[in-house]
Amino acid sequence: MVLKNKSPRWHEQLQCWCLNFHGRVMVASVKNFQLVASDESDPTNQEHDDVILQFGKIGKDLFTMNYRYPISAFQAFAICLSSFDTKIACE
């Protein structure tokens, strides 16, 4: 299975690119992301709305992670942890 970042949509009222986290993510952050399954057999390469993993900031030094099959809790946590890169050790 190939996962890819879900592309944000332009929000006319806010004049910015946004992802819909359905109320689970409250704080804007470069670390916020959603992963969807990439269907390589689809020639239009359209994204499906089935989010496999989402990760986002909910407060100062607080984040939330939501995942579903086909990835495990361990895989989801590893993917989210990797989004911190080396910055976690530098603070």
Q: Residue 43: its pLDDT value, please? A: 52
58 domain residue, yes or no: yes
Boundaries of domain holding 8: 3-84
CA 63 to each of CA 10, 30, 43, 66, 81: distance values in angstroms, whole numbers, following the listed order: 24, 12, 35, 10, 11
Q: Structurally, how many domains does the chain consist of?
A: 1
Note whether 36 and 55 are within 8 A (CB): no
* Rounded average pLDDT over 1-13: 90
Better-predicted residue by pLDDT, 90 or 50: 50
Q: Is the pLDDT of residue 48 over 70?
A: no
Cα-Cα end-to-end distance for the chain: 34
19 domain residue, yes or no: yes
69 domain residue, yes or no: yes
89 domain residue, yes or no: no
37 domain residue, yes or no: yes
49 domain residue, yes or no: yes
User: Mean pLDDT in the chain?
Assistant: 85
47 domain residue, yes or no: yes
91 domain residue, yes or no: no
